[in-house]
Structure formats: structure tokens, C-alpha cells
Amino acid sequence: MSAAAELEIKDLTVSFDGFKAVDNFTFSVEHEELRVVIGPNGAGKTTLLDLICGKTRPTGGSIRFKGRELSKMQENSIVRQGVGRKFQTPSIYPKLTVFENLEISFPRGRGIWGSLFFKQTDDVRERINEVARDTYLSDHLHTSAEHLSHGQKQWLEIGMVLIADPKLMLLDEPVAGMSVRERQQTADLLKRICKGRSVVVIEHDMNFVKEIAHKVTVMHQGKMLVEGSMDEVQANEKVREVYLGH
């Protein structure tokens, strides 16, 4: 791992009325790395993703992606820098079809003129089909998203992030509520999509983490507890105490 880090977070702190949800957090993610962040509830994992994608503003510290400082940018500018975010509970557009969900997420025509004069050209349709195939939704393209199963909704949102071809993907609990088979399919999906980009995943399912993670970061009370391979982390006494022991 000699390449320069894609995502570099330094001394990141955010405090909500004195409570430090993320406290002097420093970490970095390499190009094409799939990093998993684990930790007990309230450790600040989701807040960390919120800070990176601009949903929450940091109190201090810096977030640099490909050398650019993100912490002062508007959410939509951060997206245009190539940062894509999937939320914890699948957030999709229930009244639109899978196709339309993906079409809106296609990174073109995002201004007002764009939305007025957007043309659904062949390359758009091709890309939508490709992403639908990747996310196992090819048979459901014209299904209204509200009628998808929970697991399919998760995939759809991953697809919606994926279609913008982000260079950094932030996935918050992508397999929550999925069956064992769906988890395996999601693991395959994540392994495929981390080519050409970096991925940060928050997850609780240890078998799933073991399957996909290149490196694991353990958070506890807003701080980094330990970082390393899955085996190292699982062998760590402190981690067993605060998290895995439960």
C-alpha cells in the first residue's frame, strides 16, 4: 500500500452540545481499499460518514479527499467531487420505478436546465441496465420501488450511488435486514465495485465483515480504538471488551 491515501481525515471532531460524537479522529483510506468501520452503538460511525459527505459540519479537524478539503463544501459539491453515500435505512424514491430511481441518480442534468432538457439517450439506458444487472435488479426495472423487498431496496440504493461512479463510496449498514443469500450476493457486489474506487462500509455482521474487509477500523466513543486486519482486530483484548464480547 504505497499509493498516497485517497481519503485523509485528521483530528476530526464534532460536538453536539458538548457531547463529542467524533473525537479527534484520524484515519486514512487507500485507493481501491475496502475499509470496514465497526464499533458498538453510539461509537460515532454514522456521524463519521455524515461528516465526510457534508450532512454534518465538523467542529474541528480536516477531511481531505484526493487532496481537496471537503469539510467546507456544500453537499452537492461534495457529491460532484466523487463521494457517494448510502444511508442506513434504505432511502429510495418509493413512488418511482427502479429505472426512474436510477435515472435520477445518473450524474447528468443535475441543474435546472439539465432537468428541463435531459434526454434519455442510449448511453443512459445502457448504464442503467448495467447497474441494475450489477445490483440484481434487472427483472424489476419497471417495478415501483415501494414494492421491492427490503434487501432489494438496499441494493437499489447501492445502485443509485454506484451509477454516479463515485471515487469514494460510503455505505452505512448495507446488509441490514438481508437474508443469508442476499448477504452473500452483496458481499460479491462490494468486492466487484471496489475496483477503481475506495469504499468505506459500516457493518455489524462479523461474518460479512470478515468476507469483504481489507482492513477494519474499530471505533469506540468517537475515537479510534484499533485498526488492522480482521484477525488482528478480533484478537485484540480491548476490542473484545467493548464490542465483540457482547
Partner 1 sequence: MHTLYNRALGGKSGTVGLALLCIVLFLVFPLSLDNFRLNMMSKYLSYAFVAVGLVLCWGNGGILSLGQGLFWGFGGYCMAAFLKLEAAHNIAAESGSDQIRALTTVGLPDFMDWNQITSLPYIWYPFKSFPLTIILVFLVPTLLAYIIGTAMFKRRVGGVYFALITQALCWIMEISFVTRQGWTGGINGITDLRTCLGWDIRTKSAQITLYFLTSIFLIACILVGRFILSIKLGRILVAMRDGEDRVRFSGYSVSKLKTFIFCVAAAMSAMGGALFVLNVGFMSPKLVTIEPSIYMVIFCAVGGRNSLIGAVYGAILVSYGKTYFSEMFPNLWYFLMGGVFILVTRFFPDGLAGAVDRFGPMLGKKIFSMIGRAQQNFPAVVPVTIEANEGH
* Interacting residues with partner 1 (CB under 8 A): 53, 55, 74-76, 79-80, 84-85, 87, 91-96, 100-101, 103-105, 107, 109-112, 114-116, 118, 157, 160, 164
**With contact defined as beta carbons under 8 Å apart, do 74 and 54 qualify?**
yes
Of the pair 197, 215, the CB lying nearest partner 1 is at 197
Distance of closest approach, residue 36 Cβ to partner 1, in angstroms: 21
Q: 114 burial class (0-12, 13-18, 19+ CB within 10 angstroms)?
A: exposed
Nearer to partner 1, 96 or 244 (CB): 96
CA dihedral angle for residue 167, residue 113, residue 70, residue 223, rounded to 10 degrees: -70
CB of 86 to partner 1, least distance (A): 9
Of 95 and 191, CB closest to partner 1: 95
Q: Which is nearer to partner 1, 168 or 213 (CB)?
A: 168
Question: Of the candidates 139, 158, 164, which has an alpha carbon nearest to the alpha carbon of residue 92?
Answer: 158
Q: How far is the CB of 138 from partner 1 (least distance, A)?
A: 20
Nearest to 37 by CA among 232, 227, 246: 227
